[in-house]
Structure 1
């Protein structure tokens, strides 16, 4: 094989533009790698869904790179980081066609990402890897001590490059092909337990103006209230305008979202929420994005309320979706307990890796 060349990825104005080849290749290779490493096809993305977040970089800076040998694209990589002043961390993603991980394409791309991180002033690098549900010959254990995952070529590359496995998340799925009897039962029980101080509200995108402020505060707390082991997660700043931009990106990508939230009536504040998202294909997999109960209101079964209320609502919004997929930290036993009680089962795992540049 001739030398591997790394070049910046062209960000097209649309997925149908003449210069969209590299962007489409990145998405395709990412899907192929996710299937290979995770052993499932539930996590496929589309170029249409991803492009809006690359075009609007008001809140997050994104850089992409392509690895080629001659004219053949072997892999792609991206760096994403908040634009807020004082940000030190960046998230990396490596996407290499499986046969070429050993060719050096992954190593070259990783080196280019680390160079880019230095150039934009980021010193804490994080990367997520996918792993199959079945055990492998070599099992990885994170520093949290919670969970294990089978080694993959990408996890081997990260280990060899000085990255440390900090955390493992479980990817769970819930079949939507049967009645949601458990969700209905758990919701009724949780509402009775929580009491009259808590009220459920739901909406589809875009978020109602009256709820944007509370929703913004909830999304911001995802960066501080969710278990993250020793991953250095920086607090994010959200406001009404950022919620509007985020909603617009989802809608521009042809995605639909349902949000269920809980309002604490005495304070008039939003204290829990859950998001369900599906792409333009009504028969596609549903993804559960953010789910959070703020620390001050935990122990009232609000997590069960928002998850179950949203699942029941979702049946009307996306009746042909076959399943819901979600990720939770293995040490987040309260949220895993809720999932298991509703009927979620493990489908794959993800590993959170971190390296501090010196």
Structure 2
């Protein structure tokens, strides 16, 4: 007789994906992509095991913990908990991965309870979880506390609500066709550069960041945790220096990924005041992911967001001609950045809900 009571054990983090104990982590990568495919039809939203392993092996800036649920020795779900290492960090970020075939057996609730227990053990008082949603209308639509955007209810969103989480924010996932007409990009870049004027200039590189830019890049990366719209989500201010830039890039590049950075330097001060990152996995024919994009608050209104986005997309089309699309997430209330995306050809393909509970 089969039991539906899951057994939950810690996720094993191997030294490499070829190690004797790497099967669980490889299954984690497969499950991550399966769940994204089931939820929104976009498996490439999720990184694979090779992309994730370097982050799990280096706890310098964030601590990752994972748990595997089994029923009769079959893996039926996993959950991960990510803990920022800043001393003032209060939140634990939870990612729940239970495929449709095993949802409703109690696995999802048991894994969420285990993740919350782990967060409490590390002294966290805020729990956060994200849900993915197709761009469809449903009988029950959810509106976040920001008032911007709406998403259809799903089993995961209902689980979060049942466990006391509140929908704080909705993010739009958009894609840009890398094989579309390049003219609008060039025109937008030319117009924005003329508007910004000679006080701003474009700086570009492929990671690793050249030593002369590391301190400046660290400063603008730190602003992402404070300047980007996040509703009432509790994110600790991140502390960055050149060493953290080097650590981050070692994790990103260790999996065979390539990252292009387009930044804007404020010429009078010499500071980097805006940036955009594009990343692709070792498979150069796949989806490109836009990571961070930010314009420092003091320099908004000069069209620097358009400059870094367009400059990097133009550069990327030359660097990665076989990549198909660029995928990016933006808060629904971030109308300036969404307007830039829409103007240069990004279209919505899915949505994410950001949920939070204080304990």
What SS does the aligned partner of 2:45 have? Answer: coil
In 1: Cα distance, 2:12 partner to 2:44 partner: 27
**Counterpart position of 1:332:** 334
Runs of 4+ in 1 over 6 A off after TM superposition: none
1:85 maps to 87
Partner of 2:67: 65
The answer for the alignment partner of 1:258 in structure 2 is 260
The CA distance in 2 between the partners of 1:136 and 1:204, in whole Å, is 43
Measure, in 1, the Cα distance between the counterparts of 2:70 and 2:356.
26
Alpha-carbon distance, 1:341 to partner: 0.4
1:292 equivalent in structure 2: 294
Partners of 1:232 and 1:350 in 2: how far apart?
17
* Contact 1:63–1:80 under 8 Å retained in 2: yes
1:51, distance to aligned residue in structure 2 (A)? 0.2
Aligned to 1:299, the other structure's residue is in SS state coil
Question: Alpha-carbon deviation of 1:311?
Answer: 0.3
| Equivalent runs, 1:174-213 vs 2, <5 Å | 174-213=176-215
Question: Out of 4, 20, 23, which is 1:21 matched to?
Answer: 23
Task: State the superposition RMSD in angstroms.
Answer: 0.9
TM-score normalized by structure 1?
0.98
Question: How many pairs does the alignment contain?
Answer: 357
What is aligned with 1:156? 158
2:76 maps to 74
- Structure 1 residue 179 displacement after superposition: 2.7
Equivalence for 1:43:
45
2:112 aligned partner: 110
Aligned match of 1:166: 168
**Aligned residue among 228, 237, 240 for 2:239:** 237
Q: Which runs of 5+ in 2 are unaligned?
A: none
Does the aligned pair in 2 maintain the 1:39–1:348 contact within 8 Å?
no
Q: Which residue of 1 aligns with 2:354?
A: 352
Cα distance, 1:112 vs structure 2? 0.3
Which range is displaced more, 250-259 or 128-137? Answer: 128-137
Paired with 2:32 and 2:179, the residues of 1 have a C-alpha distance of 28
* 1:304 corresponds to 2:306: yes
In the alignment, the residues of structure 1 paired with residue 77 and residue 43 of structure 2 have an alpha-carbon distance, to the nearest angstrom, of 19
User: Cα deviation per residue 1:23-65 (whole Å; 9 max; x = unaligned)?
Assistant: 1112211111111112323313211111000001111111000
Question: What secondary structure is seen at the aligned counterpart in 1 of 2:224?
Answer: helix
CA contact (8 A) 1:33 1:95 kept: yes
Cα distance in 2 for partners of 1:86, 1:174 equals: 37
Kindly state the Cα deviation for residue 178 of structure 1 after the two structures are TM-superposed.
2.0
Bigger mean CA offset, 230-239 vs 27-36? 27-36
Conserved 8 A contact 1:39-1:131: no
| CA-to-aligned-CA distance 1:4-24 (integer Å, 9 cap, x gap) | 111111001111111111111
Contact 1:26 1:77 in 2 (8 A): no
Q: Secondary structure at the match of 2:290?
A: strand
Distance 2:99 2:320 in 1: 32
Match of 2:125 among 112, 118, 123: 123
2:138 counterpart of 1:136: yes
Measured after TM superposition, the shift of residue 99 of structure 1 is: 2.1
